[in-house]
Structure 1
Amino acid sequence: MMIIRTIAFLILLGTSCHSLVRVNADTNSATRPNVVLVMTDDQGYGDLSCHGNPILKTPNIDRLSANSIRFTDFHVSPFCTPTRAALMTGNYPGYTGAYRTSSGRTMMHRDEKTIANLFGDNGYVTGMVGKWHLGDNAPHRPQDRGFQDVVWHRCGGVGQASDYWGNDYFDDTYERNGRFEKFEGYCTDVWFREGIRFIEENQTKPFFLYLALNAPHGPYRVPPEWAEPYTGNRSVTNPNFYGMIANIDHNVGILRDRIARLGLAENTILIFMTDNGTASGAKFDGLDSEAKLGYNAGMRGKKSSLYDGGHRVPFFLHWPQAGLVGGKDVHTQAAHIDVLPTLADLCGIPVSDDYKPNGISLKPLLEHTKLDDAQRSESEPELPRDHHVVQFHAGAHARAFPPQPLEYSVVMDHRWRLVNSNGQGLFDILADPAQRNNVADEHPEVVTRLRTAYQSFWEKVSPRLTPVRIDVGNPTNNPTVLCSQDWYMPSGNPPWNFGSIARRPRVTGPWMLDVRKAGRYRITLRQMPKEADKPIVAVRAKLEIAGQTHELDVKPDSRGVVFDIELPTGPTELVTWFYDNNGKAGGAYFTEVESF
C-alpha cells in the first residue's frame, strides 16, 4: 500500500509540475499567477487569534489562514534587516552583507540580485510598498534593486533618523519613485491604499507586489479607535500594539475584497508572513524568557531572541487556481531563504546562476497538500536540506561558533535546536516546545552533528561579512544624503534615532563610499537634517576623505558647513567631526555629498 501511495504521489506531483511549467512557460502569457507578499513588522506567531491569542481579534487574517497552506515550522531572522535581505535574495543574511539594522550593515552586496530582478526580467511588473530597510541610497534603494514602482519610507522605522523629518505615522512624507510626496492618512492605511493602486493599474499584466508594512513596529502609534477595545485590559501589555495589528487585519480584508472584485483572486498567490518574533505582544524577563504576561503561543523568546519565539513566524500561502487552499498544514521546517526559489518554481521562472540561492523550493510540500487525506497522512516529501541556521551577528562584529561568547546562533532541524545564546543549549522542540530543558549532556552526538553542520554555513557566509559601500556621484541619486545610522562602527551601534542624536553624542565613524564620478564635490555637514532647519551647536568642522583633510570654522547660527573639494573615483571613507569650545567632538550626523 505504501508503494502504491508513493507512486500516486509522484504521478500527481509530476503532472502538476508539468502543468504549472506549461502554463507559465510563455513569459508574455496573461495566465501566469500574480504574487502579493504581505509582511508585517515585529508581529509574532502568537499575535493572531487563529494561533490561539485569547484577546487579540484578527478575523480577516484568520479567514486567510483557514483557507491557506500553513507552514507551522517557518523561520525568519530575529530582527528586521536580515529577514528582508533573505527574503529578497534567497540567501543567508550574512552572505548578502545585510545582517544588522544599522552600523552600515543594512545594505546588500552589489552582486546580489533580488526576487524583483528575477520577476521583472521574466515579464512581471514589480512593486514595493512600505518598509525597505535595505539601504536609503544608491545602489541599494528598492528602485535600484529591481522594483519598478515603489512607495517607501527610509530607515528601519517611520520617524527614525534617516526617514523624512517630521514623519510620525500620520500624514507623512514618503518617497515615490525617487521623489518625496506628502500622503494623507495613517501609515498602514497608506501602504494598503498604494498596494491596491498598484494592483489596479497592473491588473491586466502579471505582477509581483511586495507589501512590507512598518506596523506594528514602534513607536506604537495608531488611531485611538483601534486600540480602544484593548485599553484597560490588564492582560494586554500594549493596547496600541494590538490596535496596530487590528488595523492591519482590517486592511487585509479590504485588500482581499478588492483583489476578488477585480477578478484576480483565483490566480493570485497571496502570502502573509511576519519578519520576526513579537516586540510587544507579551511581557518578558529579557529576550529569552517565556511570556510573563500576555500570549506568545507557548514559545520562549521574543524579537531578537534565538529561541523559537524570536524567529518562528506565521507563513500562509493561498493560490486557488493551483488548488493551494483548504487550511492544510505543512510541518516540514522551512525558512525565509526558501521564498524566492519557491515562488520562482510556482510561477515557472527559471533561477539562473546569477542567483544561486541558499534556499530551496518548497513546491513539493505544497503539492503534497493536494493529495487526499489518506495519502497526505503519509510523511511529507523529504527536501534536500536536513538543517537550518539562524545567525545573530552580535554588534558590528562577526565571530565563529562557540566557544566565542559574542556570536549568537541556532542550528536546527525538525526536532532539535542547538542554541548558542549566553551559553549553549540543546532542546528537543517536539518534546519541549517551550525550550525549558537543556539536554545537551544526554545527546552529545546531536550537539556534534549540528556543530559540524554549522561549519559549512560559516565557511560560506564569513567571507562575505565585509563592508558594502554607498555611491556618491551616482546620477540617479545626487546629492547623496548620508545619515549616521550608516557609520561603519567597529563595535556597537552609531546614533540611529533622534533620541540619541539630540544628545549630540561624542562619537563619529566612517561612511564607506564608492565615488562613481571623478570631479568636484560639495560636501555639507549638518547635525540635523536639512528639513529640520536647526542650527549647528559647534565652533569648528572637519572632514577626512580620499586622503584629504579639510577644516572650517562654524559660522554663528549656521545650518550647514560646506566644503568644495575634488575627488577621484573609487572606494573611500568619509569621516566628519564637529568640535565644541572645549575641543570635544562628535560627528556630522547628516551629510550631503553632491557631484557637480
Structure 2
Amino acid sequence: MALSSVLPASPSPNVILVMTDDQGYGDLSCHGNPVLKTPHLDRMHADAVRFTDFHVSPFCTPTRAALMTGNHPGSTGAYRTSSGRTMMHPDEKTIADLFAGAGYATGMVGKWHLGDNAPHRPQDRGFQEVLWHRCGGIGQASDYWGNDYFDDTYERAGVGNMQGRFQKFEGYCTDVWFREGLRFVEKNKDKPFFLYLALNAPHGPYRVPPEWAQPYEDRAEVSNANFLGMVANIDHNMGILRKRLAELAVADNTILVFMTDNGTSAGASFDGLDSEAVSGFNAGMRGRKSSIYDGGHRVPFFIHWPRGELTGGRDIDTLSAHIDVLPTLADLCGIPVPEGYDPDGISLKPLLDGTKDRWPRKYHVIQYHGGAGASALPAQPLAHSVVLTERWRLVNQNGQHLYDIKADPAQRQDVSGDHPEVVRRLREAYRPFWNQVSLRMRPVRIHLGNPDQNPTSLCSQDWYLEKGNPPWNFRTIRKLPKVTGPWMVEVRQAGRYAFTLRQWPSAAEKPLVAARAKIAIAGKEKEITVSPGSENVSLELDLSLGSFELQTFLYDKDGEAGGAYFTDVELVENNGSRQGTKKKRKE
C-alpha cells in the first residue's frame, strides 16, 4: 500500500536523530532480550517503522562519518577511532550543512568523535548550536580533565562562539544530554529544527546511578549489570523526550529516529570478537562490537513520523545502512542534495511509502580498515571486510567465508565451497567499492592559525601512526610510554607560532618527567632544556603556509624520547602584528 502522505509536510517536518553508543541489536526487550526492560523504546518500536536488516560500521567513528555524509567511511577520511583518522575531509557535505542550508535550526548534543580541532568540530560542520564532549568517550585523553559521567564539564559552541567555552553541568551524562536536547527543541519549536542527539552511553566505562543497575545485579545470565542499567536509563529518557514532544505539540510533525552505532560491547559475554554469545543475549547473532560478523554491525533502526504516516509497527526487511540516513531524511523533508554531491547511500523513502517494487541496491560493503586494535595497515583491499546481500555474507577475515544468512543467521556454516560462483560475484562487487574509497584514504589535516580555534589543543590520540594505536586514554598516558608520532597539520596563516608541550592536561597540574624538549615541523627543529618541576615548556617558531607534520619529543635523563601527549599551538604574530594573548583554558 502506497503511503501518499510520506511527503514533505507543510510546515517542514522537524528531525530528531538519536544514536546510542555500543548498544547492540539484542540490547532491547522488544528484540527479545529476556532480562533487560526497555518499555519506552518498546513503545516506539510498536509505533514506528522498523528496518530489520540495517547495518552500520563495526565501531564508532566510521558509523558517525557515514551518518553525517551519506558516504562510505573510507571515502570520508574518518575510518578509525584514533591515529589521526577520525576527521572527515573538509569537502564532505554533512547532514547539518544540508538542513542548515534549507533554513533549519541545527543542533548537536553529546558525542561527536569526528575531530576535536578546527575545521572538524561539530560547530565547523554545519551545527549552529553544540554541546559536546571531546574524543571518543567521556574521560578519554582529550576530554575535560576529571570528567567521569557525573557532574561533568562539557563544551558549548556554535554560531558566535566558534572557539567554544567549557561549562559545568549537574547530573548524569545521559540525563544532561536529553535535558539539553529538549532545551534546543523548546527554543526552536516554532521553526523547523534538526537535532542530532548522540549519546556516549552505554559505552564504557560502565557507570550509572545505582538504582538503574540494581534490577540486573546478582543475576547469572547478566554479564554487566551497569551496562544494562545504562540502557535502561536511556530508555527512561526516551520516554521523557517523547512525552515532552507531545506537550510542545511538535510530536506529530517530528521525524524521530532511534539507532545505535555498532554491535553490543557488554550486553553479553563472548569468547573473542567473532563468537556467538557465551552468556547473555545477542539476538542469535555471531560477533560483537568490532566484529565484521552480523553481531558487530546489524543494529536497530526505528523511524516514526505521525504526520507522514510512518507509524504502526511495520517491518521493512530490505538491506539498508547508515549511508542511507542522510539521503532519506533529506528526501522526507524535501531538501535537495546539492548539485555535484552524490552520496553513496540511497533514499529509503520508496521503501517507506511502498512505491518501490525493485530496489537498486544489490550489495553493501563494510570494511574495518586496519582491523581490531589497528593490528594491520588500513589501506589493504578485502582485509577485514564483509560483502552483504539480503541472502549472503562474504566475510574476508582469517580466510574467506560465505554464509547463507537466511538459512544460517548465526553464521556457523561456511558454504563457500558449495557456491564458488557466489563467492566470485561478491568479490567482484567489492572491487568498485575499494577503487572508490582507497583514493580518499589520505591524511586529513588539523588547522593551525585558524581564527575559529586559536590556540588549538592537540592530543596524542591524533598522532598519525601506520599501525597500532597512539596513547588515547589516561590508563596508557599514566605510564608515560616512550612513543611519539606526527600530527598532520595545515598552517593557515604564516607567522610566529608558540608551542606549549605537556604530558598532562594543564588542569592536572603535574610536572613534566623530562630533561629536554624538542619540536620538529616544516624542516625546522627547536630544542629547549626542561627546568625541574615545570608543568610545560614553550617554544616559538616562524612558519609559512602549507601542509606539514608536527612532531614533539620529550627526552628523559637517559636520552630516551617520548612525545608531548598534549600540545597547544597558538598563532602569536602574523604579518608583523602581535596577536592578542588568549588565556589558556583548563582541559
TM-score with structure 1 length normalisation? 0.93
Match runs of 1:239-318 below 5 Å: 239-318=225-304
One of 123, 129, 134 as aligned partner of 1:154: 134
Q: 1:550 to 1:107 in 2, by over 3 A?
A: same
Displacement of 1:321 in angstroms is: 0.4
Match of 2:500 in 1: 524
Match of 1:28 in 2: none
Match of 2:16 in 1: 36
Match of 1:238 in 2: 224
CA RMSD of the aligned region, Å?
1.1
Match of 1:569 in 2: 545
Q: 1:480 to 1:418 in 2, by over 3 A?
A: same
Displacement of 1:353 in angstroms is: 2.9
Letter in 2 for 1:116: A
Segment drifting more, 353-362 vs 287-296: 353-362
CA distance in 1, matches of 2:87, 2:507: 25
CA distance in 2, matches of 1:37, 1:443: 40
CA distance in 1, matches of 2:168, 2:463: 29
**SS of aligned partner of 2:307:** helix
Match of 1:345 in 2: 331
CA distance in 1, matches of 2:438, 2:381: 11
Given that 2:5 and 2:307 are in contact with CA atoms closer than 8 Å, whether structure 1 keeps it comes out as: no
CA distance in 1, matches of 2:117, 2:214: 39
CA distance in 2, matches of 1:481, 1:345: 38
CA distance in 2, matches of 1:432, 1:199: 44
Given that 2:5 and 2:309 are in contact with CA atoms closer than 8 Å, whether structure 1 keeps it comes out as: no
Given that 2:447 and 2:492 are in contact with CA atoms closer than 8 Å, whether structure 1 keeps it comes out as: yes
Segment drifting more, 420-429 vs 312-321: 420-429
Displacement of 1:16 in angstroms is: 4.5
Give per-residue Cα distances to partners, 1:459-479, cap 9 Å, x unaligned.
110010000000010111011
Match of 2:571 in 1: 595
Match of 1:92 in 2: 72
Q: Does 1:53 align with 2:29?
A: no
Query: Greater share of helix residues, 1 or 2?
Result: 1
Match runs of 1:322-333 below 5 Å: 322-333=308-319
One of 347, 360, 385 as aligned partner of 1:409: 385
**SS of aligned partner of 2:208:** coil
Letter in 1 for 2:50: R
**SS of aligned partner of 1:321:** coil
Q: Does 1:534 align with 2:514?
A: no
% same residue: 69
Displacement of 1:146 in angstroms is: 0.1
One of 468, 474, 480 as aligned partner of 2:444: 468
One of 388, 399, 405 as aligned partner of 2:364: 388
Segment drifting more, 391-400 vs 571-580: 391-400
One of 432, 435, 444 as aligned partner of 2:420: 444
One of 176, 191, 213 as aligned partner of 1:227: 213
CA distance in 2, matches of 1:473, 1:416: 50
Letter in 2 for 1:420: N
Given that 1:89 and 1:355 are in contact with CA atoms closer than 8 Å, whether structure 2 keeps it comes out as: no
Given that 2:364 and 2:388 are in contact with CA atoms closer than 8 Å, whether structure 1 keeps it comes out as: yes
Q: Does 1:498 align with 2:474?
A: yes
Q: Does 1:114 align with 2:73?
A: no
**SS of aligned partner of 1:320:** coil
Given that 2:25 and 2:283 are in contact with CA atoms closer than 8 Å, whether structure 1 keeps it comes out as: yes
Gaps of 5+ in 1: 1-8, 25-30, 372-379
Q: Does 1:191 align with 2:177?
A: yes
Given that 2:25 and 2:299 are in contact with CA atoms closer than 8 Å, whether structure 1 keeps it comes out as: yes
CA distance in 2, matches of 1:417, 1:491: 27
Given that 1:80 and 1:275 are in contact with CA atoms closer than 8 Å, whether structure 2 keeps it comes out as: yes
Give per-residue Cα distances to partners, 1:328-370, cap 9 Å, x unaligned.
00000000000000001100011113531000000011002xx
One of 499, 521, 525 as aligned partner of 1:545: 521
Displacement of 1:382 in angstroms is: 2.2
CA distance in 1, matches of 2:377, 2:192: 42
Given that 2:107 and 2:130 are in contact with CA atoms closer than 8 Å, whether structure 1 keeps it comes out as: yes
Match of 1:27 in 2: none
Q: Does 1:215 align with 2:215?
A: no
One of 173, 182, 191 as aligned partner of 1:205: 191
Given that 2:274 and 2:293 are in contact with CA atoms closer than 8 Å, whether structure 1 keeps it comes out as: yes
Displacement of 1:381 in angstroms is: 2.7
One of 90, 103, 120 as aligned partner of 2:83: 103
TM-score with structure 2 length normalisation? 0.95
Given that 1:276 and 1:311 are in contact with CA atoms closer than 8 Å, whether structure 2 keeps it comes out as: yes
CA distance in 2, matches of 1:318, 1:249: 16
Match of 1:174 in 2: 154
Given that 2:387 and 2:430 are in contact with CA atoms closer than 8 Å, whether structure 1 keeps it comes out as: yes
Given that 1:113 and 1:354 are in contact with CA atoms closer than 8 Å, whether structure 2 keeps it comes out as: no
Match of 2:435 in 1: 459
CA distance in 2, matches of 1:353, 1:400: 32
Give per-residue Cα distances to partners, 1:555-577, cap 9 Å, x unaligned.
01101110011111111111111
Give per-residue Cα distances to partners, 1:482-514, cap 9 Å, x unaligned.
000000002111000000011011110000000
CA distance in 1, matches of 2:483, 2:340: 40
Match runs of 1:578-589 below 5 Å: 578-589=554-565
Q: Does 1:71 align with 2:57?
A: no
Q: How many pairs does the alignment contain?
A: 562
Displacement of 1:168 in angstroms is: 0.4
Q: 1:452 to 1:400 in 2, by over 3 A?
A: farther
One of 519, 524, 531 as aligned partner of 1:555: 531
**SS of aligned partner of 1:151:** strand
Given that 1:400 and 1:458 are in contact with CA atoms closer than 8 Å, whether structure 2 keeps it comes out as: no
Given that 2:114 and 2:120 are in contact with CA atoms closer than 8 Å, whether structure 1 keeps it comes out as: yes
CA distance in 1, matches of 2:63, 2:459: 22
One of 511, 521, 525 as aligned partner of 2:487: 511
Match of 2:581 in 1: none
Displacement of 1:400 in angstroms is: 3.7
**SS of aligned partner of 1:176:** strand
Q: Does 1:128 align with 2:114?
A: no
Displacement of 1:397 in angstroms is: 2.5
Letter in 2 for 1:524: T
